[in-house]
Amino acid sequence: MGWDGFVTAYTITALDGVAYGLLLFVIAAGLTLIFGVAGVFSMAHGTLYLAGAYLAWHLADDAWTGLTLALGVAVAVGALGGAGLAAAVRPLADRPLDQVLATLGIAYIAADQFSLVFGAEPRSVDPPRAVAGSVSLGDYQYPVYRLGFIAVGVLLVLGLFWLVERSRTGAVVRAVVADPGMAAATGLRTGTVRTGVLIGGGVLAVTAGVLGAPVIGPAPGVDTTILVYSLIVCVVGGLGSIRGALLAALGVGQALTLGVALAPGAASFVLAVAMLSALTVRQRTALAGRPA
């Protein structure tokens, strides 16, 4: 059996799931570090993605210059958004419910402003002309941009793994995750680390919005959808765990694409069971006296 025999409608759908999962990972990686390192329960993370998607719609054109400009602005917007979030929740340290309410209010205000400025209708974002076509995979045509996004997503995964697990910055982040008190006692400026993580998470989310806009375009409600899926990834993968976030994001991506194609009514149930199972296992581990 040749290559064409392995390429079916389900194979193409599974490839879509990989692209979707990598997009969710880039978004949720920042959120899981924000939860795990900064201890901030941010409900405005989907808003940052939507900001990036609208940036792509407004600035990107059919050339690389527009996409490059959108990415440059995304870094600045993400950094400002992360710093603003850090300032907003600083008085609410150790008050998670208040953090949720405050960031949820920020998300609602931003959603209203997006609708006011960009309109209430969904927007479509075209990729640069050089990658706007399709390639043949067996008997099917697959978007070149989506394949390119998968390649970029893999590079981002490798970069995040190196940053968190191999670099000195990552060692500091892991120390704050493992034991904030001990990290502070050794002289680490945990407050600066938390602010840096919030800024980094903001940059990742807005950048993901620019890159992912041709996949999940800007529209009212997209911020809520992205937030919900990111929270699922964080819960299933574990707060502060980049490896767990990657596995969970890829799993969620497949559930939302291949799972829907195979069993349309079961995808939501599978995601709910995965979250409940993860929470149950961690709770039993904590009760047994081992680290959760």
Enumerate residues 6+ apart whose C-beta is below 8 A from 276.
none
Total structural domains in the chain? 1
Tens of each residue's pLDDT in the chain, 292 residues: 455 557 788 888 889 999 999 999 999 988 888 887 777 888 999 999 999 999 999 998 777 888 899 999 999 999 999 999 988 888 887 788 898 899 999 999 999 999 999 988 999 888 888 888 888 887 788 899 999 999 999 999 999 889 888 888 878 877 777 677 777 787 777 778 888 888 999 999 999 999 999 989 999 999 999 999 898 888 888 877 888 889 889 988 888 888 777 777 666 677 777 667 766 666 555 444 444 4
Q: Is residue 196 part of a domain?
A: yes
Q: Is residue 135 part of a domain?
A: yes
Q: Is residue 42 part of a domain?
A: yes
Closest by alpha carbon to 160, among 54, 68, 31?
A: 31
Q: Is residue 177 part of a domain?
A: yes
Q: Is residue 222 part of a domain?
A: yes
Structure tokens at 232: 């699922």
Closest by alpha carbon to 83, among 196, 252, 236?
A: 196
Amino acid 289: pLDDT: 46
235 neighbors 82 (Cβ within 8 angstroms): no
Amino acid 207: pLDDT: 94
Say which CATH number the domain at 128 has: 1.10.3470
Q: Is 182 buried (19+), middle (13-18) or exposed (0-12) by CB count in 10 A?
A: exposed
Q: Is residue 138 part of a domain?
A: yes
Structure tokens at 90: 């600083």
CA 221 to chain centre: 16
Measure the CA–CA gap between 42 and 89, rounded to whole angstroms.
9
Q: Is residue 292 part of a domain?
A: no
136 SS3 class:
strand
Closest by alpha carbon to 221, among 49, 99, 56?
A: 49
Amino acid 155: pLDDT: 93
Structure tokens at 238: 């574990």
Amino acid 283: pLDDT: 55
Give ∠ CA 187-86-239 in degrees, rounded to 5.
75
Residue 92 structural domain: 3-287
| pTM score | 0.87
